[in-house]
């Protein structure tokens, strides 16, 4: 009878990730410490591969041993960094795969699948380490941020046009303001969300002791967001 294998899939993702080479090294260390499997106390001769793939602006890339890739890549030109880990055993069919993707436009994503015990053992430490690199403002790049921009635009429009759209306070006027305000909120929120995603990077490698681009730009984002909403709402109310 064929051996039954218990498998598991786990995933973690966030809208932004910021960290230095030392944090990447800790992630690699977690993967390198995945224990070798044993069957009846005998080594199972695991076949393990761990590679890093860095993609830079212009389509150029680097592929190889993680430590060497980290030293060779240019953080300022980096657009995507991937870590791919795979282990399989000759003595039993258990295997595991780990993929960590850090992208300038999408943030961080961790995918693990394969042997149940392997996934349980490696997912928790990796998730914890990756969460340490997720900045507090990462939610501004996601759907929660889009909702915020829409609500601010809607509130600004309603406040500025309370007596200007229909010139009265009838039910029809109120309904009209709500409908128009919702349309304005949708239109305004799209370019604002695009702007925020450009200013706040989804992925950044920082030098030791330095702030990331997102941390420096967060004040600019707030001021620009409020100014854009105010200008649009004022224009529509005039």
pLDDT digits (tens, 9 = 90+) for 7-38: 889 999 999 999 999 999 999 999 888 765 44
* 5, containing H or E segment: none
Q: 15, 104 in Cβ contact below 8 A?
A: no
Classify burial at 181, counting beta carbons within 10 Å of its beta carbon; exposed 0-12, middle 13-18, buried 19 or more: buried
Distance CA 196, CA 36 (A): 44
- Residue 223 has, within 13 A of its CA and on its CB side, a CA count of 5
* 10, containing H or E segment: strand 7-14
Residue spans of alpha helices (H) in 2-89: 21-32, 66-72
What is the tens place of the pLDDT at every residue in 86-103? 887 655 555 789 999 999
Share of the chain above pLDDT 90, in %: 37
């Amino acid at each position: 009878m064929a051996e039954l294998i218990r498998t598991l899939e786990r995933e973690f993702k966030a809208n932004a990730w910021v960290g230095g080479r030392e944090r990447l090294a800790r992630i690699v260390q977690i993967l390198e410490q995945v224990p070798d499997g044993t069957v009846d106390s005998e080594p199972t001769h695991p076949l393990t591969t761990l590679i890093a793939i860095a993609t830079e602006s212009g389509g150029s890339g680097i592929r190889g041993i993680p430590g060497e890739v980290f030293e060779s890549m240019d953080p300022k030109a980096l657009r995507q960094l991937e870590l791919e880990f795979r282990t399989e055993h000759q003595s039993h069919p258990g295997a595991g795969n780990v993929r960590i993707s850090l992208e300038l436009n999408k943030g961080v994503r961790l995918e693990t699948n394969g042997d149940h015990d392997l996934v349980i053992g490696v997912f928790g430490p990796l998730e914890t380490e990756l969460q340490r690199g997720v900045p507090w403002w990462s939610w501004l790049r996601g759907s929660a941020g889009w909702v915020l921009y829409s609500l601010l635009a809607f509130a600004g429009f309603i406040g500025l046009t309370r007596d200007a759209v229909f010139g009265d306070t009838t039910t029809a006027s109120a309904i009209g303001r709500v409908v128009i305000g919702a349309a304005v909120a949708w239109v305004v929120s799209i370019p604002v969300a695009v702007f925020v995603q450009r200013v706040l990077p989804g992925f950044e490698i920082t030098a030791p002791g330095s702030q990331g681009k997102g941390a420096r730009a967060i004040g600019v984002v707030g001021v620009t967001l409020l100014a854009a909403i105010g200008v649009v709402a004022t224009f529509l109310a005039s």
